[in-house]
Structure 1
Amino acid sequence: MKGLTGVGLGWRRPLAHFIDGRSDLGFVEVLAEHLDAKGPLPEPLVRLRERGVPVVLHGVSLGLGGAEPPSPERLARLARLAERLGAVGVSEHLAFVRAGGVESGHLLPVSRDEASLEILAENVRLAEAALPVPLALENVASLFEWPAPAFDEAGLLAGVLERTGALVLLDVANLYANAHNLGTDTRAVLEAVPRERLAYVHVAGGVREGALYHDTHAHPLPEGPLDLLEALAARVGPVPVLLERDDRYPPPEELAGELEATRGALARGVARRVGAA
């Protein structure tokens, strides 16, 4: 996506003042569901746009992994918001969120079989055609898998890339959760996305509860996602990275520390790549 560089932060109203005072953020990401498609934009977002900070519009409710095509009304709303924000792109999840008008309330994994992949790809193509900017697809964290998958998570990503023109928002925090909970092969997923199709990367915090790891976006950023970010940068070089925080907002110094830790992991990965070359 054009203009995305460095390390960014997810824009949330409780973080608006913190973001407004930072000159080192490469970009921000705004939740589409938190904005009024017809009303005025929040003033802090207007100021960011005037400063030339790139903005990505991030959705959670499109439901590209469902059997039904994405709602034309939802797509039109995303398109309007992207234009009003001057967004450089839209990102959404490779997820199943509703069926028959019933909302799951969660980003559920897509069944990994050929029929589901074909439906997913068709839904993605419909979304691409309706949006005025590039679309990036995010892998999701899960606590379960559908029975008898025909291919792994890397295969799902590769299949979508083969069948569509979409980009990838690679969430290494979600990947870390899936590796812990489901035994996902992280290396295969990191290698499944060509650099030219990688729009940007997410990192976020989470917490272990019993045998499971929950991607909460409300806890400190652990080493696991940062290790995966470093491994990715060692393979493809520098990539735009965005830190997500959605709840239990920490003091400014702690949040700044997580941004620095993200920059450090990215720099270590790039240095490994240079050293290997």
Structure 2
Amino acid sequence: MKRLEGVGLGWRRQLAHFIDTWEGLGFVEVLAEQLDERGALPEPLLQLKERGVPVVVHGVSLGLGGAEPPSPARLSRLARLAERLGAVCVSEHLAFVRAGGLESGHLLPVARHEESLEVLTDNIRRAEAALPVPLALENVASLFEWPEPAFCEAGLLTGVLERTGAGVLLDVANLYANALNLGTDARAVLAAVPRERLAYVHVAGGVRHGGLYHDTHAHAVPEGPLALLEELTARVGPVPALLERDDRFPPVDELAGELEAMRVAMARGVARREAA
């Protein structure tokens, strides 16, 4: 997989001007479900492509964790978008989203059992074969776990990496949420991803509500995800990291401050690694 570099930002129409003028832009990620793979693509996005800014196509509805194979139509759509945008890779979630024609309306976790891992592996291989670029898989945030898991979240990632050629989109905000809400061993998950399989990292904000932490993509990034980003870079060195913001778009100086905080966290991690 071609490596991304630097700090990126999720492309949203509301952020198009900032992204176009931000001098520190390393790469962008576009949501597949918000684009027409056959119609005209947004002009600002095409201009980024012409400038040579690396693009990632990010999907949220493939449903790799379901018992049904991924839809050929959905895979074809992702493939066409990747080709039109000259994407470096396509990313999707290790998630369950539908069964029997019913949509969950949310990215639900995959049951951590051997049978589920076998189905997940088969679905990932189908997706890899259908896409013209490498596939990166994202860990999801959850407010619950399926009963009697056979292995931990790190074990699920390890199983996927051992059985497929896919890369990892490591979401430290999701990992932070799971550590708070479910007691997930965040450091074990960080250790489960070899640098050569790490495509890039997601960072996002959230909020505590009703005793739980919610990964909203609409609030400021707390210290927790930044601390995990620092820990990751202390383990593996510099990584490409992208800020997700989907709602309550902040003023330009606040957005720039969050991106700078990501740079600082990674610089601290790299310094720790060099010192060690």
Residue of structure 2 in register with 1:250 after alignment:
250
Residue of structure 2 in register with 1:206 after alignment:
206
| Cα distance per residue 1:193-212 (max 9 Å; x no partner) | 11100000000000000210
Residue of structure 2 in register with 1:133 after alignment:
133
The CA distance in 2 between the partners of 1:2 and 1:117, in whole Å, is 27
Between Structure 1 and Structure 2, how many residues are aligned?
276
- Root-mean-square deviation (CA), in Å? 0.6
The TM-score, its normalising length taken from structure 1, stands at 0.99
The TM-score, its normalising length taken from structure 2, stands at 0.99
Residue of structure 2 in register with 1:42 after alignment:
42
Contact 2:153 2:189 in 1 (8 A): yes
Residue of structure 2 in register with 1:26 after alignment:
26
Residue of structure 2 in register with 1:168 after alignment:
168
Q: Which runs of 5+ in 1 are unaligned?
A: none
Q: Which runs of 5+ in 2 are unaligned?
A: none
Contact 1:30 1:55 in 2 (8 A): yes
- Displacement, 1:24? 1.1
| Cα distance per residue 1:136-170 (max 9 Å; x no partner) | 00000000000000000000000000010000000
Q: Secondary structure at the match of 2:226?
A: helix
| Cα distance per residue 1:36-91 (max 9 Å; x no partner) | 01101100001100111000000000000000000000000000000001100000
The CA distance in 2 between the partners of 1:163 and 1:109, in whole Å, is 19
Q: Secondary structure at the match of 1:98?
A: strand
Residue of structure 1 in register with 2:86 after alignment:
86
Residue of structure 1 in register with 2:63 after alignment:
63
Amino acid at match of 1:257: G
Residue of structure 2 in register with 1:77 after alignment:
77
Contact 1:57 1:90 in 2 (8 A): yes
Q: Secondary structure at the match of 1:272?
A: helix
Q: Secondary structure at the match of 1:56?
A: strand
Percent of residue pairs identical: 82
Moved over 4 A (4+): none
The CA distance in 2 between the partners of 1:214 and 1:193, in whole Å, is 24
The CA distance in 2 between the partners of 1:69 and 1:10, in whole Å, is 28
Residue of structure 2 in register with 1:113 after alignment:
113
The CA distance in 1 between the partners of 2:154 and 2:59, in whole Å, is 22
Contact 1:141 1:215 in 2 (8 A): yes
The CA distance in 2 between the partners of 1:124 and 1:99, in whole Å, is 17
Q: Secondary structure at the match of 2:199?
A: strand
Amino acid at match of 2:7: V
